[in-house]
């Protein structure tokens, strides 16, 4: 698959994952099982986000962006991401939730997904869509 096509396809998958996250976050009082789903959607959206960024950067000729941290930093340096600190915090939260499950952490990530990460995902989608033209 050509790199320039890959990031556009990754963007399409990201949009679907973010829509699922939005729907899950709309639940008025999520129970622990629904909260686990919210955390999973957050992880999926984050994973697709950094991979879309990586694929886009590679399509533009950038090298050494194969790790999440490297891709996010490079994207921030080049104006693709506006909140570099927020994305790096998201990486830490994604790493935390993908290796352990703790109800307290799940509640915290639910709130962060709603108020911090969903806006970051939406801004990234908007930015990449503007570059897909």
Q: Could you tell me the residue ranges of all domains in the chain?
A: 3-131
* End-to-end Cα, the chain, rounded Å: 19
Can you list the alpha helix ranges (DSSP code H) found in the chain?
3-25, 32-59, 68-77, 84-99, 103-112, 118-131
Is the pLDDT score of 2 beyond 80? Answer: no
Tell me which of 9 and 103 has the higher pLDDT: 9
**What is 3-131's CATH topology?**
1.20.120
Q: What is the pLDDT of residue 4?
A: 66
Q: 3-class DSSP state for residue 113? A: helix
Tell me: the pLDDT tens digits for 75-116? 999 999 999 999 999 999 998 887 767 888 888 999 999 999
Tell me which of 118 and 106 has the higher pLDDT: 118
Tell me: the pLDDT tens digits for 25-63? 999 999 999 999 999 999 999 999 999 999 999 999 999
What is the rounded radius of gyration, in angstroms, for the C-alpha atoms of the chain?
Answer: 15
Q: What is the pLDDT of residue 9?
A: 96
Residue 21: how many CB atoms within 10 A of its CB?
25
Between the alpha carbon of residue 52 and those of residues 20, 28, 59, 116, 128, the distances in Å are: 17, 31, 10, 19, 9
């Amino acid at each position: 698959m050509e790199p320039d096509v890959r990031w556009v396809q990754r963007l399409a998958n990201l949009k679907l994952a973010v829509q699922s996250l939005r729907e899950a976050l709309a639940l008025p009082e999520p129970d622990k099982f629904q909260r686990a789903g919210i955390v999973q959607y957050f992880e999926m959206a984050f994973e697709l986000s950094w991979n879309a960024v990586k694929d886009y950067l590679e399509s533009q000729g950038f090298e050494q962006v194969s790790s999440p941290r490297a891709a996010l930093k490079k994207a921030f340096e080049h104006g693709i991401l506006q909140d570099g600190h927020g994305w790096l915090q998201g990486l830490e939260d994604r790493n935390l939730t993908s290796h352990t499950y703790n109800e307290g952490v799940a509640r915290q990530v639910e709130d962060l997904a709603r108020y911090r990460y969903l806006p970051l995902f939406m801004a990234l989608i908007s930015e990449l869509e503007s570059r897909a033209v």
